[in-house]
Structure 1
Amino acid sequence: MKRALGWTGISLLVAGAAVAVLSGGPAVADAEVQSSLVEDFAFPGADEILAEHGLRLYTGDGHVEFVPAEDETCSAGLIRVTASLPDEPYRAVYCFKTSGARGFLTMEVPNTFLVRAAAVAVQATAVVPEEGAGGDPVREVYEVPANRAVSIEAGSGADAPPAVLVELRFGDW
């Protein structure tokens, strides 16, 4: 008997929902519609960071965060990325804070020539256009030991193309 009542209740619920949908149902204001719960990993405030600091950030998991440099320096507890600029001050310094056991951030930092890790080792991925071979870009992954700096190679040839840092990653993946 309980099973029959259960199926009857479910049938009535489905039928009621179908009638509501087919008849237009209750109007729901745009403000009441829930947004998707799917994470897109877009970096919050990326447009403001680009406008204020010239740094293009794309996606991340929230465990690598941009921190504005003070007087072109980063504290010892931050990752430091240094890039050359064509005009004064001729270099840009970007700092990043890490949290958690692992994290990543994708970005675009043209003319990168140095990455210094904080207390945790970092993998820095740079793209360098390859001379010849149709100019196909080459992805290089640099292992940066904790509290150490590693040079990012610009490429090969007499007029070496600049490296573009595209990702910082730390922890076990």
Structure 2
Amino acid sequence: MKARSAVLRTIGATLAAGTLGWLTVTSGVPAVSGTSADGAPAETVANEGLAYAIEDFSYPNADKILAEQKIKLKKGDGHILLAQCDTTPGLLEVYSRINEKICFSVAGDSGYLTLEIPAVFGVRGNDYNTQVDMAVGTEEKTYAILKNEWTAVGETADAQGRDFMLLEIRASK
């Protein structure tokens, strides 16, 4: 009796597996390899691997900011951000003949931002140790910005009064 019961279970399991396979083939579910029910080549998701999110550190909405404010923001780590020039304490202020006053908030232990702002002549520092890289033609200069004070940079610090472009801001605590 036990042997007969085992044979019946085996036959039942085989029939169930065959039925499941038949249902899969006739239901239009794509095969694991070969072609799908509509004749197109089937692809296995496992072969695609994981999708990777690659951070390129591009500044969000940079095109819109350039069109509206004529400030070219390129890349940064997210710790130096364009801000409204208002009464918020601790803003870094950049003075330009083109844009007048441009403000940035700084957060975290350190930050950097690459950008292009023409005709920059001064920077008012905040509580961070800040440096700015500027260029005129092929000549580049780095200026250390005084904490919470005005620092002459670019044309106001240049004996020839040349028009400098702000290229990078770096800040650290």
TM-score in terms of structure 2 length: 0.67
Q: Of the two, which has the highest radius of gyration?
A: 2
Q: 1:116 aligned to 104, 114, 124, which one?
A: 124
Q: Where does structure 2 lack aligned partners over 5 or more consecutive residues?
A: 1-31, 35-39
Q: 1:82 aligned to 68, 92, 95, which one?
A: 95
- Contact kept, 8 Å, 1:120 with 1:145, in 2: the verdict is no
Does 2:84 align with 1:60?
no
> Separation in 1 of the partners of 2:52 and 2:151?
40
Shift of 1:35: 6.0
* RMSD of aligned alpha carbons: 2.8
Report how many aligned residue pairs link the two structures: 133
Shift of 1:105: 0.3
Instruction: Label 1:156 to 1:145 Cα distance change in 2 as closer, same or farther (>3 A).
Output: closer
2:111 maps to amino acid: G
Task: Say which structure, 1 or 2, has more relative contact order (CA 8 Å, 6+ apart).
Answer: 1
SS state at 2:54 partner: coil
> Separation in 1 of the partners of 2:131 and 2:141?
10
Shift of 1:48: 1.6
1:25 is matched with which residue? 42
Shift of 1:148: 1.6
1:92 is matched with which residue? 100
Instruction: Label 1:143 to 1:47 Cα distance change in 2 as closer, same or farther (>3 A).
Output: same
Does 2:73 align with 1:50?
no
Shift of 1:69: 2.4
Runs of 4+ deviating beyond 4 Å:
none
Does 2:172 align with 1:171?
yes
Q: Where does structure 1 lack aligned partners over 5 or more consecutive residues?
A: 1-16, 29-33, 86-90, 130-136
Instruction: Label 1:35 to 1:110 Cα distance change in 2 as closer, same or farther (>3 A).
Output: farther
Instruction: Label 1:26 to 1:168 Cα distance change in 2 as closer, same or farther (>3 A).
Output: same
Provide Cα deviations, 1:58-81, integer angstroms capped at 9, x if missing partner: 0000000001324xxx64410000
- Contact kept, 8 Å, 2:154 with 2:162, in 1: the verdict is no
Shift of 1:103: 0.5
